[in-house]
Structure 1
Amino acid sequence: MLRRLSLKTFPKPLSAREEKEYLERCNEGDQLARDVLIERNMRLVAHVVKKYQSPDYDIEDLLSVGTIGLIKAVNTFKVDKGSRLATYAAKCVENEILMLFRASKKLSKEVSLFEPIGVDKDGEAVSLVDIIEMENKETIDTMILKQDVKELYEAFDSCLSDTEKTVIRMRYGLFRGKEHTQREIAAQLGISRSYVSRIEKKALEKLKGEFQKHEN
């Protein structure tokens, strides 16, 4: 049985300013800065690992392999204007995991994404993974936000009653809807504003509890 992997158990990523500072120090040979860059990007490794969880591999093994990719990324990343380490590191982490799968011949479909399909303007081999990365560059903050939103909607569907879903959906404008005040919701549902407030509070407590379960 696979243990659930939570991104929230890892340190928060560095801000753009902090990342730039530590990268400059790392390029000057500062080992402490290098260690900080690795530690504060472990969330990225965990995010990539979540996409490749399989009964054939322990999470700890995938994290170890992914960490190797992160270390390689920190060691070889070249700072360019507007570039972020996370985009480059995500590719390096995936490369290491896909190489693991290639070695064991277990996930041939994913491995095929890594096969060269041409060359770029510098004569370097380009794979489907390279193209996907170029078309879908995301910082680690964006990836984590997407994961949190996904878990929010899963919790919304699984732990709320129909009335609670209606109140939360209207109150916070979920599913691209319009946000409503408690008074407006009460008028539409034919109940008191104070009752809407109690329903909202109870529903939020349920959602909070569901998120906390995911962190364990």
Structure 2
Amino acid sequence: MLSGLALLLHEMMLFVSYVGSGSSFPKPMKPEEEQEALQAYHAGDQQAKNKLIERNLRLVAHIAKKYEGGNRSTEDMISIGTIGLIKAVNTYDGSKGTQLATYAARCIENAMCS
């Protein structure tokens, strides 16, 4: 439980540092890279999980922009969206024929709207 919270905090700090510094996000993974990372993560590689999350942070920012001006601050939306992204990586099932980004977008939006 504590390691999960520490990972979440690390991911959010990384994301906020990207947003706050004006730096660009890491480029999205190529499909074959993503498949390799997913296979490695399902085999227990936490570095692969981190890579999947980091390389999809751009998606969180994109979706958070759609909700600007609402009840929550952009920073809150980014934090909530990052939780949705982590959930997406944890629960993604590629056998259903959906791409990770498509599934993650739904999880991110669900987290932001709840």
Query: What TM-score comes out, normalization by structure 2 length?
Result: 0.76
Unaligned runs of 5+ in 2: 1-18
* Moved beyond 2 Å, runs of 4+: 80-83
- 1:109-120 to structure 2, matched below 5 A, reads none
3-state secondary structure, aligned to 1:9: coil
Are residues 1:10 and 2:10 paired? no
- Alpha carbons of structure 1 residues 15 and 82: separation in structure 2 relative to 1, 3 Å: farther
Deviation at 1:40, TM superposition (A): 0.2
Are residues 1:27 and 2:46 paired? no
User: Residues of 2 paired with 1:93 and 1:59: CA distance?
Assistant: 14
User: Residues of 1 paired with 2:45 and 2:39: CA distance?
Assistant: 9
Higher relative contact order (CA 8 A, sep 6+): 2
Are residues 1:53 and 2:68 paired? yes
Equivalent pairs counted in the alignment come to 95
CA deviations 1:46-95 (Å, max 9, x no partner) are 11111111153221111000000000000000122753100000000000
Q: Give 1:62's aligned residue.
A: 77
**What is the letter of the counterpart of residue 23 of structure 1?**
L
CA deviations 1:130-168 (Å, max 9, x no partner) are xxxxxxxxxxxxxxxxxxxxxxxxxxxxxxxxxxxxxxx
**What is the letter of the counterpart of residue 39 of structure 1?**
E
- 1:196-207 to structure 2, matched below 5 A, reads none
Greater helix fraction, Structure 1 or Structure 2: 2
Are residues 1:92 and 2:107 paired? yes
User: Residues of 2 paired with 1:53 and 1:74: CA distance?
Assistant: 25
CA deviations 1:25-46 (Å, max 9, x no partner) are 0111110000000000001111
User: Residues of 2 paired with 1:88 and 1:55: CA distance?
Assistant: 24
User: Residues of 2 paired with 1:33 and 1:80: CA distance?
Assistant: 19
3-state secondary structure, aligned to 2:95: coil
Unaligned runs of 5+ in 1: 100-216
Q: Computing the radius of gyration over CA atoms, which structure comes out larger, 1 or 2? A: 1
Please give the root-mean-square deviation of Cα atoms over the aligned residues, in Å. Answer: 2.2
